[in-house]
Structure 1
């Protein structure tokens, strides 16, 4: 931590001397984002020792972002900074879920009243290549997706490089060392579900190549030291049928295996509650295919996903570490749904979604969707046989298009999850109501 903080401080000192350079200030952006969240989760089969089955909480989050331009010269320098502040508004006495990844818990199991953190990145640009180094990184890549599904966003510490020197080719590489959870003021090392030992080295590299205007090919490699190695292949194609009609194909394949101490004490992997041939070791192949037909404001999506029998799908997840609030992670599969993941060993999941953009009916900013996922042949690590599970998610979103509060957004989401047989999750009904607004100062 000392070395990275010192390096960042030196970089910021250099930038301060050049802050007057054209571009650094002129291209700067400063914005304040507000998010109000109401979260209601009804655990239909709550454990006997839980006094109330529901989790009912609300909170207010603020995020201040400063993004500078770059100084002039062959190599341009800049800085990005972010400050976040979460406030617990109300949970209804006894309705706060301890070990929550939504709001941090106090020592007595109740929700903390507030939490905050500050992060910053130094950055440099040479030609069409950018490097970022700091503690406010938010990657959105096939092998790592920063989670922003609750009150405050998840961020990472480390360094990243993005290069677009070659036409139609984007190269991404980086090394991350720590994570800041969406319900925490602290940073932790990196891990996976079930892993209680921190790793401080997540390395990745990958290519996005636009072979034609309609076809993009991807390859990525990542390695979380002492936990797993992962290869990803992806292909996305959009066939334009007419001006307002298209057919999209999205194919994804992951191949994951153990690394270093994975399987040893402290480096376990719980396979997302699923069976594993080698119980505590990463061993997985997952493929998925999604097809979307769009006509005017209508969009119909259908797809299928297959997780191999040898072990569940793997992704970066700090939820098993000692720091409460570090949990909450996203992953690059179509089944990363509102409640469940559908990523257990052996699981075959068929899914579909229908969405409509009401701009076609003269109501711009209003969108609605409903999705259904059903997983079969899943295996639980503690119970013989297989199980099935399903989830239905619905949401409606509206963003004001004009007026003083232009950009003010409302989102109502409702999910229902049910499992049968040896499913490791409780049946749940979940509702979220979210209000978002961002004000740009410059």
Structure 2
């Protein structure tokens, strides 16, 4: 019996004695979400084009807490993915692949968390965790979300401060039914310990400061500092400042066979090549957004140090006897440059980016939003000392029905164009069409 199953069994035993306790039932929520995704990835070099359509269903039951000094509850989640079209010989990463290269007809998983609350502190233990923190962002970019197994604590005992801590042991990819160990893209070994702790301090209603520390055992340690400030100019004008800094260093076996990885960490600095696979990185970004009415104008800059690329949790290259097509891959990182196709996190890369967004509510069309983003990364370092550049342009149009029978039904059309000078890196045109709807039972 794994830890998640044991935790749920213990929780069920406790809750059986308090099944009718006020709060546990009264504060419960249940919903089912549907997402249909058409995904097309055109390689401009003429090879490995991919297209696929899939349907995802997600059922969530979130209980309240039992009465008493310590309240207990459970969160349950059932996920089902259905392949609709495409994918044979041209996998798009939406569905797991069968041995003949075709997409499986369907895949599913069921998991949950046991939880407890004391005062203003909550603990969750199980396999349906989905952190959204600067040092780890659960990926939800396909039909089903990525989830993690482990334990987390969130505390608000101090006014205006939220403290988060946890230990994660395994991850289930967005196109997978099976959990895998934790790793970094390019590595062949796994770790079962990702620890983190940190806090968000709301200094004023307009200013938030953040600090987090994390460690993926035998791979890397990472510190994060963040600042978010919104200056209200008038009722329909504001100026937002978003500053982020990551410092990543080596941990344990990092650099040894299986724990070294080609995540742009073998880069040249002043003519010298750093030890291959060793983590040594500084990444900072600054973004400024001016909002006026329905319009928002963002301009930003990001810099990755020469000594290595930005590092973050990603199980995409872990095999260990399994088929890669089981869908372990797919990861997000807390950077504004983590966009449709690329993340702009290569060694030495300096990225300038800008975005224009418009909310059509201001002209009488609530629920309709559009955005255009452009990113240009240059000074990308290679082991040979040569420098490269890359760019991406993303266009997005979203609409959510505001009333009537289809209230809450969402449509999103996204198109990304990515071009690169880097050898063995493909230039891509990508299109996504997404239909989504969530129905709340109670």
Task: Note the 1:83-102 alignment, pairs <5 A.
Answer: 83-91=78-86, 93-94=88-89, 96-97=90-91, 100-102=92-94
DSSP 3-state at the match of 1:281 = coil
**What number of residue pairs does the alignment pair up?**
432
* 1:198 is aligned to 2:190: yes
Query: What is the CA–CA distance in structure 1 between the aligned matches of 2:59 and 2:187, rounded to whole Å?
Result: 32
Which residue does the alignment assign to 1:75?
Answer: 70
Which residue does the alignment assign to 2:430?
Answer: 430
> Which of 293, 306, 311 does residue 308 from structure 2 map onto?
311
Listed one character per residue, the Cα deviations across residues 204-262 of structure 1 (whole Å, up to 9, x for unaligned) are: 00010011111110000000000000000000110000011000000000000000000
Which residue does the alignment assign to 1:416?
Answer: 417
Q: Is the 8 A contact 2:4 2:113 kept in 1?
A: no
Which residue does the alignment assign to 1:33?
Answer: 33
Instruction: Return 5+ residue gaps in structure 1 as ranges.
Output: 48-52
* 1:237 is aligned to 2:234: no
TM-aligned CA deviation for residue 425 of structure 1: 2.1
Q: Is the 8 A contact 2:22 2:67 kept in 1?
A: yes
> Which of 237, 249, 274 does residue 241 from structure 2 map onto?
249
Query: What is the CA–CA distance in structure 1 between the aligned matches of 2:260 and 2:162, rounded to whole Å?
Result: 34
Q: Is the 8 A contact 2:7 2:114 kept in 1?
A: no
Listed one character per residue, the Cα deviations across residues 125-160 of structure 1 (whole Å, up to 9, x for unaligned) are: 111100000000000000000000011000000000
Task: Note the 1:26-175 alignment, pairs <5 A.
Answer: 26-47=26-47, 53-91=48-86, 93-94=88-89, 96-97=90-91, 100-175=92-167
DSSP 3-state at the match of 2:260 = coil
Task: Note the 1:18-29 alignment, pairs <5 A.
Answer: 18-29=18-29
Q: Is the 8 A contact 2:87 2:102 kept in 1?
A: no
- Structure-2 change in CA distance of 1:128 and 1:423 (3 Å): farther
Which residue does the alignment assign to 1:441?
Answer: 441
Listed one character per residue, the Cα deviations across residues 93-143 of structure 1 (whole Å, up to 9, x for unaligned) are: 54x32xx53211101111111100011000001111000000000000000
Q: Is the 8 A contact 1:275 1:344 kept in 2?
A: no
Listed one character per residue, the Cα deviations across residues 65-98 of structure 1 (whole Å, up to 9, x for unaligned) are: 000001111111100000000001000654x32x
Q: Is the 8 A contact 1:101 1:326 kept in 2?
A: no
Query: What is the CA–CA distance in structure 2 between the aligned matches of 1:353 and 1:175, rounded to whole Å?
Result: 36
Query: What is the CA–CA distance in structure 2 between the aligned matches of 1:139 and 1:31, rounded to whole Å?
Result: 20
Cα root mean square deviation, aligned: 1.3
TM-aligned CA deviation for residue 268 of structure 1: 1.4
Query: What is the CA–CA distance in structure 1 between the aligned matches of 2:214 and 2:223, rounded to whole Å?
Result: 7
DSSP 3-state at the match of 1:426 = coil
Q: Is the 8 A contact 2:224 2:246 kept in 1?
A: yes
Q: Is the 8 A contact 1:296 1:360 kept in 2?
A: yes
DSSP 3-state at the match of 1:271 = coil
Which residue does the alignment assign to 2:271?
Answer: none
Using the TM superposition, name which of 2-11 and 191-200 deviates more. 2-11
Q: Is the 8 A contact 1:278 1:310 kept in 2?
A: no
| Deviating 4+ runs (over 3 angstroms) | none
* 1:16 is aligned to 2:8: no
DSSP 3-state at the match of 1:14 = helix
Query: What is the CA–CA distance in structure 2 between the aligned matches of 1:423 and 1:373, rounded to whole Å?
Result: 19
Query: What is the CA–CA distance in structure 1 between the aligned matches of 2:263 and 2:131, rounded to whole Å?
Result: 24
Query: What is the CA–CA distance in structure 1 between the aligned matches of 2:266 and 2:174, rounded to whole Å?
Result: 25
* 1:220 is aligned to 2:212: yes
TM-score, with length taken from structure 2: 0.95
- Structure-2 change in CA distance of 1:374 and 1:14 (3 Å): same
Task: Note the 1:317-332 alignment, pairs <5 A.
Answer: 317-322=314-319, 323=322, 324=324, 325-332=327-334
DSSP 3-state at the match of 1:26 = coil
Q: Is the 8 A contact 2:54 2:94 kept in 1?
A: no
Q: Is the 8 A contact 1:139 1:146 kept in 2?
A: yes
TM-aligned CA deviation for residue 272 of structure 1: 4.3
TM-aligned CA deviation for residue 384 of structure 1: 4.2
Which residue does the alignment assign to 1:377?
Answer: 379
Which residue does the alignment assign to 1:50?
Answer: none
Query: What is the CA–CA distance in structure 2 between the aligned matches of 1:29 and 1:7, rounded to whole Å?
Result: 21
Q: Is the 8 A contact 1:274 1:344 kept in 2?
A: no
Query: What is the CA–CA distance in structure 2 between the aligned matches of 1:416 and 1:251, rounded to whole Å?
Result: 27
